[in-house]
Amino acid sequence: MDKYTLLALAIFIPLLSAFLCYTFNKPWVRNTVVFVTALIMFAVAGGFVYYLIHSGGKIEISLESLHLPFDVGFIFKLFDFLLLAYIADIGMKHKKPLIVFLSVLQAVALLVFELVGSVKEPHVVFVIDYLSLIMLLLVSVIGPMITIFATGYMKEHEHHQHLEKSRQPRFFAILFIFLSAMNALVMTNNLSWMLFFWEVTTLCSFLLISHDGNEKAVKNGLRALWINMLGGLAFVFAIIVIYNALGTLSLEELLRNRMVSAGLLPVGLGLLCFAGFTKSAQFPFQSWLLGAMVAPTPVSALLHSSTMVKAGVYLIVRIAPVFSGTTLGTMVAVAGAFTFVGASAIAISQSNGKRVLAYSTIANLGLIVCCAGIGSYVALGAAVLLMIFHAISKALLFLCVGTIELEIGSRDIEDMQGLFKKMPFTTVIAVIGMISMLLPPFGVLLTKWLALEAAVKLPLVLICIIIGSAFTLVFWSKWIGIILTLSFHAKYKMEKLPVAMSATMAVLVLAVIFTGVDISMIFNAVVAPFLTESLKGLPETVLNGTNGLWLVSESGRMVGGFSSFYFFMILFLLFLLYPYIFRSSKAELWKPPYLCGANTEEDFKGLEFNAPADTVEHVIVHNYYFAGAFGEANITPWANFIAGAIIMIMFGVVI
Amino acid sequence: MDIVILKDILTVAATIILAPIIGGLLTGIDRKITARMQSRSGPPILQPFYDLIKLLGKERLIVNQTQMMFALGHLFFAVAALAMFMLGQDLLMILFIMAFSSIMLIMGAMSVRSPYSKIGAQREIVQIMAYEPVLILMVVGIFLSTGSFMIRPLFSDMFSFGKPLLYDLPLVFIAFIYVLTIKLRKSPFDFSTSHHGHQELIKGITTEFSGPQLAVIELTHWYELVLFLGLITMFFARPVWIGIGIALICYFCEIVIDNISARMTWKWMLQATWIVGIGVAMTNIIWLYLK
Amino acid sequence: MGLVKKSRIKSPWVLHYDCTSCNGCDIETLACLTPLYDVERFGIINVGNPKHADILVVTGSVNKRNERVLRNLYNQMPEPKAVVAVGACACTGGIFKDCYNVLGGVDKVLPVDVYVPGCCAKPEAIIDGIMLAASKLEEKAEALKEAKAHA
């Protein structure tokens, strides 16, 4: 198999599956298509890993070598305008002048750009390096897994909805188009093609968010659409500005530059970052991602983990080496760090599980953006690692919450008390997922640690990350505490889940554990080559991945580091001890919780107590939510205001 | 290489064995001093050990099957943090491992359906939120002063005189001592597990842990105590005995504070720690930047 | 085993429950905590939580309302455990013995190990009672073990 086949498979196999899913509305056809596509996409991802390592870390595919009988560039442009027309039509249909305005403006800007000067398209149209590879792996491994989960989930979901006619063909078709566009987006080298794929993901996310078709879904979908169209507009202007500054649309040539303080290039980069901010739902653009929670769970899982929001941070991490160490970089870092602390603070006040996850996603994306903005070796390493770990953990957590929601009919954290009894399998997996978002030795925390060690030179960013990570600890540990609450039960029965759902969760949780244990391997295999390639020749503190991650300063001195392996051993030891503890906890040793001696006679769980006048009252304990200090309504306006100001300052600096 | 590994293993083994002895004795001395301050004669110095052994010999009551696992997790990660400290590892990571240990206790306390234990756990979370930023700022200050996150260089020439870390970080040290009061569960910050059980919170976070489970948690406190005194020592590490002496003096000050203050509310603590703790530590760090 | 035995005697943690005491005995019990008597020299701590306690100190007579609570508290204490009845009312019901709602002394409900007489009981006597109960803990632990072996 050569690189052309791989490329074609990565982009067209999902498209073909989309077509098949859309045409054949038979569950067994759909399930087979989803499963086979998943296998092919895994294989393609594996093929890329193999091919990339054997071709020296970079695959380049030029337009000529494709031997296409027609002008691809023209077709893309055509599609681009068709897409914009379609989006404008959506805006018209739902009476949203803003969306019409944004799409027309984009179309006009593109038209002027194409007509005024004859645009020189780059020869090399696809470049796959290690960063693309990481994104490819995330999209082509986690994406299909979520689709497999969706086959089980959507059946239950539509069962709850009582639909006349299944809308699953449409749903799966859009999912696959989404994956195809993501795959293409991370491989392309042509900025104007990237714009096209960028807009395809925008459209797909609108279609998926509004999939259920009720008023709320459409409203939130439209919000996602206009915010991302705003980003798209910034992208168009960025293309125009960068072309005028450098005379090329090739991402690779752009990366060969080091940013100078003046000129057009910084403005272009700033606009690209702006586009990335909208897509990654950074403050003040976070509202679309929160609204996206109305969509069926697989959609949220996909949007939050491997696709959509990751496209935004991918773009920023991609161009980060160009503005590394400049004022623009610092401002991007400040914006990201502010989003991190703001989103984490609001998450504390949320009792809706999905919203907590959403804010946590926004916070983590903020941290990735922040690391990209800092742009040093360690910071970029942290950004890329966080992209990987966050994608896996968050996909897992969304699937867990979706499963829990199907079972208990609520996504409120307070309703998840005693979940372990009802669904031990999902609970254990969810807890591992949450711990992996919050505690060492799992990957996400390690990246937070790297981010802190990288941010030491920027006090403002540093204090934001420090306070943000304290907040993170609060909202996760509250939630973990709630779902682990249980009384004594002699026996536990596993819940019955569709195989597609339980298998996906099991595989993802194993992925969380293995990537956590083998962080050095991942770092050495894919992250380190990317870092050395993109930051060549800068003397600074680097990361070394032998048995853990170690920071080595330019003088060769080890200045920090951690070997997570031993700590996984401790966790493993605890898990080994657990069966013994479980067995030695006999029923006769079981006592109810202390309720000042007022436990009722027959209640051994501590759910009731004898109240005055011989009545029986229920014991109700809620978590602290600090609504006064961290309430969404209190913080959001201020946070948006400050974040807006930061973006203004960012542009003020570059212009 | 082998000798280095052997040395590391011996260090870890010695830590695991000696730390609880030191921690237990210090706790005993703490209780004795506290008693003397209240003009009582107080329990014998070995009292904490009697308590521990008695608890280990008690019936293993349970409220659910997972409590013991969380208690053990609390212990294991505290021991791991102390071992990392003795091996001179990354200070920031030590803090995160300590946080894991605390979260384990919180999970254990929240795993039972007991209002007292749950409220204690919530308050413990608030405490973590209060002190964690200050501790991280301390590490940042140490990095700015020494250029490394590893502790090993701090103790590398522990028997020779030199410029102590305190010289660069006086305000950070004050902030650290301030949050240490929270970490050691001393008044005015003993609101996640009150000293005196016959109050509104009963025993807070430890209410539902009994017998051996409570013994494990007690043991963990001893390890933590040694780790904190070690962290104080770090600020004066040249030569090391001065550091140890000053750590003991600081511990004595904590006991005095414990005895002269009443329990405050968590809101007050959060405000005080963030404004005073973070403010003071940041002031110090900003001047290090400008230097 | 000697170490555990010694530790049990040296570290009796107390749960103090006031059934229907007139508060006389309670004041004397709490007086034991003051610097004058300083029970902590014997390792005695008033823990206020049955899950941590070794010895249940009861003052006042038992009535129909609080019998349930008394049993519940005793039930939540881990073995080995002992009960000390402090004061005339706790020992026998005292002057309230014949009240319509009073069941009598603590021994009507729980197995009492040590009776501390007096109205009110003197702090010295209370301390003596608790220490006597502590020395009985080992015996009780042995008895429990044997009962378990037989069962």
DSSP string for residues in B233-286: HHHT-SSHHHHHHHHHHHHHHHHHHHHH-----HHHHHHHIIIIIIHHHHHHHH
Give the gap in angstroms from C-alpha C43 to the nearest C-alpha of chain B. Answer: 6
Which residues does residue C115 pair with via DSSP β-bridges, in sequence order?
A: C85
B286 contacts chain A (CB < 8 A): yes
Query: What subunits touch chain A, counting only 3 or more CB pairs under 8 A?
Result: B, C
The neighbour count for residue B252, using CB atoms within 10 Å, is: 13
Decide if A597 and C70 are in contact by the 8 Å CB cutoff. yes
Strands A549-552 and C114-116, sheet pairing: unpaired
| Sheet with A558-562, edge to edge strand ranges | A542-544, A549-552, A558-562
CA distance B221 to B206: 12
Which residues does residue A190 pair with via DSSP β-bridges, in sequence order?
A: A250
Within the 90-129 window of chain C, which residues sit less than 8 Å (CB to CB) from chain A? none
Say if residues B174 and B280 touch (Cβ distance below 8 Å). Answer: yes
Decide if A559 and B116 are in contact by the 8 Å CB cutoff. no
Query: What subunits touch chain C, counting only 3 or more CB pairs under 8 A?
Result: A, B
The residue of chain C with its CA nearest to that of B200 is C48
Q: Is residue B6 part of a domain?
A: no
Amino acid B113: pLDDT: 85
Q: Both tokens of residue A221?
A: 């979908």
- H/E stretch holding A376 reads none
Decide if C51 and B209 are in contact by the 8 Å CB cutoff. yes
Amino acid A335: pLDDT: 92
Nearest partner of C61 among C126, C110, C128, judged by Cα: C110
CA distance A386 to A390: 6
Q: Both tokens of residue C40?
A: 């902590």
The residue of chain A with its CA nearest to that of B144 is A456
Amino acid C79: pLDDT: 84
Q: Is residue B122 part of a domain?
A: yes
Of the CA atoms within 13 Å of residue A604, those in its CB half-sphere come to 13
Contacts of B107 in chain A (CB under 8 A): 477, 480-481, 484
Decide if A480 and B103 are in contact by the 8 Å CB cutoff. yes
Give the gap in angstroms from C-alpha B205 to the nearest C-alpha of chain C. Answer: 12
Amino acid A496: pLDDT: 82
Q: What are the mean pLDDT values of chain A's consecutive 10-residue runs (655 residues total)?
A: 82 90 87 91 90 83 78 83 91 89 90 78 85 90 90 84 81 91 90 90 90 88 91 91 84 76 79 91 89 87 84 90 85 92 92 90 93 89 91 90 86 85 88 88 87 87 92 90 82 80 89 88 86 73 78 79 82 87 82 85 78 84 83 88 91 82
Q: Both tokens of residue A469?
A: 């990570």
Nearest to C52 among B42, B49, B203 (CB): B203
Residue type present at position A294: V
The neighbour count for residue A214, using CB atoms within 10 Å, is: 11
Hey, is C85 helix, strand or coil?
strand
Compute the C-alpha angle A614/A616/A617, nearest 5°: 135
Q: What is the DSSP track for A250-266?
A: BHHHHHH----SSSSHH
Contacts of C16 in chain B (CB under 8 A): 198
Q: Which residues of C41-52 are buried (b: 16+ CB within 10 A; e: fewer)?
A: ebbbbbbbbbbb
The residue of chain C with its CA nearest to that of A589 is C78
Amino acid B160: pLDDT: 58
Decide if A559 and B147 are in contact by the 8 Å CB cutoff. yes
Return the higher-pLDDT residue of C65 and B192. C65
CA distance A618 to B152: 54
Contacts of A590 in chain B (CB under 8 A): 61-63
Nearest to C7 among B38, B57, B199 (CB): B57
Q: Is residue B106 part of a domain?
A: yes
Amino acid A27: pLDDT: 85
Amino acid A200: pLDDT: 92
List of domains in chain C: 2-150 (3.40.50.12280)
Q: B102 to each of A383, A482, B132, B205, how far by Cα in Å?
A: 27, 16, 11, 11
Amino acid A9: pLDDT: 87
B95 contacts chain A (CB < 8 A): no
Nearest partner of A361 among A316, A318, A309, A308, judged by Cα: A309
CA distance B285 to C12: 49
Amino acid A616: pLDDT: 86
- H/E stretch holding A19 reads helix A3-23
Contacts of C141 in chain B (CB under 8 A): 57
Residue B30 pLDDT greater than 60, yes or no: yes
C4 contacts chain B (CB < 8 A): yes
Give the gap in angstroms from C-alpha B247 to the nearest C-alpha of chain A. Answer: 25
Give the gap in angstroms from C-alpha C3 to the nearest C-alpha of chain B. Answer: 8
Nearest partner of C44 among C8, C3, C4, C97, judged by Cα: C8
Amino acid A584: pLDDT: 83
Give the gap in angstroms from C-alpha C74 to the nearest C-alpha of chain A. Answer: 9
Decide if A594 and C69 are in contact by the 8 Å CB cutoff. no
- H/E stretch holding A308 reads none
The residue of chain A with its CA nearest to that of C74 is A597
What is the per-residue pLDDT across B256-272, written as a single tens digit (0 to 9) for each?
988 888 888 888 888 88
Say if residues C58 and C147 touch (Cβ distance below 8 Å). Answer: no
Nearest to A591 among B63, B97, B285 (CB): B63
Give the gap in angstroms from C-alpha C15 to the nearest C-alpha of chain A. Answer: 12
How many domains does chain B divide into?
1
The residue of chain B with its CA nearest to that of A345 is B129
Q: What are phi and psi of B211, to 5 degrees?
A: 50, -130
B88 contacts chain C (CB < 8 A): no
Class of residue A612 by CB neighbours under 10 A (exposed 0-12, middle 13-18, buried 19+)? exposed
- A355 contacts: CB under 8 Å, gap ≥ 6: A290, A293, A347
Contacts of C70 in chain A (CB under 8 A): 597
Amino acid A275: pLDDT: 93
CA distance A254 to A231: 20
Say if residues A174 and A147 touch (Cβ distance below 8 Å). Answer: no
Nearest partner of A405 among A354, A457, A451, judged by Cα: A354
Q: Where are the beta strands (DSSP E) in chain B?
A: none
Angle at which helices A215-246 and A97-116 cross, to 10°: 20
- Count CB pairs under 8 A between chains B and C: 89
Amino acid B17: pLDDT: 93
Domain that holds residue B220: 59-290
Decide if A597 and C17 are in contact by the 8 Å CB cutoff. yes
Amino acid A520: pLDDT: 86
Q: Is residue B127 part of a domain?
A: yes
Which residue is it, tokens 């991007």?
Answer: A332
Residues in chain C: 151
Mutation site for A-interface testing, chosen from C49, C65, C74, C76 by largest number of A Cβ within 10 Å: C76
Nearest to C7 among B38, B53, B59 (CB): B53
Which residue is it, tokens 């005073």?
Answer: B276
Nearest partner of B95 among A466, C139, C58, judged by Cα: A466
Contacts of B202 in chain C (CB under 8 A): 48-49
Amino acid B196: pLDDT: 64
Each as own residue / partner, the long-range contacts of residues B269-276 (CB below 8 Å, 24 or more positions apart, any chain) are B269/B126, B269/B127, B269/B130, B269/B182, B269/B188, B269/B189, B269/B191, B270/B126, B270/B129, B270/B130, B273/B130, B273/B131, B273/B134, B273/B178, B273/B179, B273/B182, B274/B130, B274/B133, B276/B175, B276/B178
Hey, is A561 helix, strand or coil?
strand
CA distance A359 to A319: 25
Decide if C50 and A592 are in contact by the 8 Å CB cutoff. no
B148 contacts chain A (CB < 8 A): yes
C51 contacts chain B (CB < 8 A): yes
Per-residue 3-state assignment (H helix, E strand, C coil) for A600-630: CCCCCCCCEEEEHHHEEEECCCCCCCCHHHH
The neighbour count for residue B83, using CB atoms within 10 Å, is: 23
Return the higher-pLDDT residue of B160 and A531. A531
Decide if A593 and B148 are in contact by the 8 Å CB cutoff. no
Query: What subunits touch chain B, counting only 3 or more CB pairs under 8 A?
Result: A, C
Amino acid A345: pLDDT: 92
Residue B59 pLDDT greater than 60, yes or no: yes
Decide if B40 and C40 are in contact by the 8 Å CB cutoff. yes
Say if residues A456 and B144 touch (Cβ distance below 8 Å). Answer: yes
